[in-house]
């Protein structure tokens, strides 16, 4: 799967968001990254069930790094 990301930066540069799609199916949104208060949130979608899960981006990256490091061993 190839991903396509679109970055939206309004005049208030703090209020950005990034939409991530499957490049082969541009109507299939996989995730969105945005600011919520003082945190950066990644909202991961499960389109077939029309559900989503908001995660703190920093925590999500730590989990990915931990998983990656365990796989390298």
pLDDT single digits (tens) 12-28: 766 788 888 888 877 77
Q: List Cβ neighbours of 3 (8 Å cut-off, separation of 6 or more).
A: 20, 21, 22, 23, 30
Phi-psi region of 40 (alpha: psi -120 to 50; beta: other; left: phi over 0): beta
Give the C-alpha separation, 63 to 29, whole Å. Answer: 22
| pLDDT > 90 in the chain, percent | 0
Q: Is 11 left (phi over 0), alpha (psi -120 to 50) or beta?
A: alpha
Mean pLDDT, rounded, for 44-51: 72
């Amino acid at each position: 799967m190839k991903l396509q990301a679109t970055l939206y930066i309004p005049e208030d540069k703090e209020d950005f968001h990034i939409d991530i799609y499957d490049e082969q199916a541009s109507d299939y949104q996989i995730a969105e990254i945005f600011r919520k208060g003082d945190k950066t949130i990644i909202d991961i979608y499960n389109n077939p069930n029309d559900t989503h899960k908001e995660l703190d981006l920093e925590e999500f990256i730590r989990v990915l790094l931990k998983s990656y490091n365990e796989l390298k061993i």
